[in-house]
């Protein structure tokens, strides 16, 4: 009898928890997740990567890592290699968007193309971002909606990323991860072979000039670039989904994909 009662209680708790999400989803309201940062400075928010923390919380370790999100507060942002949080040293290894997130489960099922997986906060102040050698991951869209961004600076000791003319590239120079803000024409550096996911999403750019080397444009690379009218695509042979959604590029369908 006790087992049956326990089962009933667990079942009720499950539906009390999950039902509101189903109701919201049914009427087009997808649950949002507000991340809580573990530490904050004037420029940055820090998020501890729990999966890499050591069991001994009283000693520093190279396994203690954090990721950062850039706040809309200053013109120049210098990301540190390390940070101390409650007396513990953490290595800064990643950059993430400053954004609210939709529940991943419901995002896959209910979000239409007019909604993004995240609500990216607009950044109207940051102009220069300095990235240390310790950063090895940058999440898609980490610099979306940065309206004044002029330049990236990357430590020469960084093994994953570099800059060319202020643009953020892979160390090999083959992948473009993020461009700077512009309202006119943007020239992608020579040697770039691929435009990464969300690299220009929400940009106000009007024209993109790709080098002959560029063969791939990843999904949502130019998502909601509302003013984008021109881009040379003759050499490109691989496109991700919704790459040009809500742009002014001709010959695209309502999903932001090119007509073949």
pLDDT digits 0-9 by tens, 28-53:
455 555 568 899 999 999 999 864 33
Residue 31: what pLDDT?
55
Nearest residue to 147 via CA among 97, 76, 73, 204:
204
CA distance 153 to 163: 6
Task: Tell me the pLDDT of the chain averaged across its residues.
Answer: 83
Band of the pLDDT at 258, cuts 50, 70, 90?
Answer: confident
Number of domains composing the chain: 1
Domain that holds residue 200: 96-239
Residue 260: what pLDDT?
54
The pairing of beta strand 99-102 with beta strand 32-33: antiparallel
**Interval 207-246: pLDDT, tens:** 999 999 999 999 999 999 999 999 999 999 999 989 999 9
Is residue 130 over pLDDT 90? yes
Query: Is 193 domain-assigned?
Result: yes
Query: Is 194 domain-assigned?
Result: yes
DSSP state of 156: T
- End-to-end CA distance of the chain: give it in Å, rounded: 64
Band of the pLDDT at 118, cuts 50, 70, 90?
Answer: confident
Nearest residue to 29 via CA among 84, 97, 111, 126:
111
Let me know if 72 is exposed, middle or buried by CB neighbors in 10 A (0-12, 13-18, 19+): middle
**Order of strands across the sheet with 161-164?**
161-164, 167-170, 175-178, 194-195, 216-217, 238-239
Residue 243: what pLDDT?
92
Query: Is 141 domain-assigned?
Result: yes
Query: Is 59 domain-assigned?
Result: no
Beta-bridge mates of residue 131: 154
CA distance 247 to 239: 15
Query: Is 64 domain-assigned?
Result: no
Give the H or E element holding residue 255. none
SS (H, E, C) 174-212: CEEEECCCCCCEEECCCCCCEECCCCCCCCCCCEEECCC
Band of the pLDDT at 111, cuts 50, 70, 90?
Answer: low
**Order of strands across the sheet with 118-120?**
32-33, 99-102, 118-120
Query: Is 44 domain-assigned?
Result: no
Residue 35: what pLDDT?
66
What is the token pair recorded at 29?
Answer: 């309201």
Residue 150 belongs to domain with CATH number:
3.80.10.10
Query: Is 129 domain-assigned?
Result: yes
């Amino acid at each position: 009898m006790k087992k049956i009662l326990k089962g009933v209680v667990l079942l009720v708790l499950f539906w009390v928890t999950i039902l509101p999400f189903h109701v919201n989803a049914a009427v087009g309201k997808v649950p949002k997740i507000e991340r809580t940062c573990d530490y904050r400075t004037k420029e940055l928010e820090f998020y501890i990567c729990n999966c890499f923390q050591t069991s001994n919380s009283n000693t520093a370790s190279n396994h203690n890592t954090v990721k950062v999100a850039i706040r809309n507060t200053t013109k120049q942002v210098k990301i540190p290699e390390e940070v101390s949080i409650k007396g513990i040293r953490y290595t800064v290894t990643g950059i993430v968007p400053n954004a609210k997130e939709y529940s991943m489960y419901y995002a896959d099922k209910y979000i239409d193309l007019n909604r993004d997986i995240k609500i990216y906060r607009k950044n109207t102040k940051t102009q220069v971002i300095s990235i240390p050698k310790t950063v090895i991951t940058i999440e898609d869209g980490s610099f979306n909606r940065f309206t004044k961004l002029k330049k990236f600076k990357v430590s020469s000791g960084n093994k994953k990323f570099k800059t060319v003319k202020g643009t953020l590239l892979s160390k090999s120079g083959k992948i473009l991860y993020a461009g700077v803000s512009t309202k006119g024409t943007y020239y992608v550096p020579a040697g770039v072979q691929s435009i990464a996911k969300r690299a220009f999403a929400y940009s106000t750019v009007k024209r993109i000039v790709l080098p002959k080397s560029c063969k791939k444009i990843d999904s949502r690379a130019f998502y909601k670039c509302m003013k984008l009218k021109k881009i040379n695509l003759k050499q490109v042979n691989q496109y991700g989904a919704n790459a040009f959604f809500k742009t002014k590029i001709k010959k695209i369908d309502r999903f932001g994909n090119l007509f073949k």
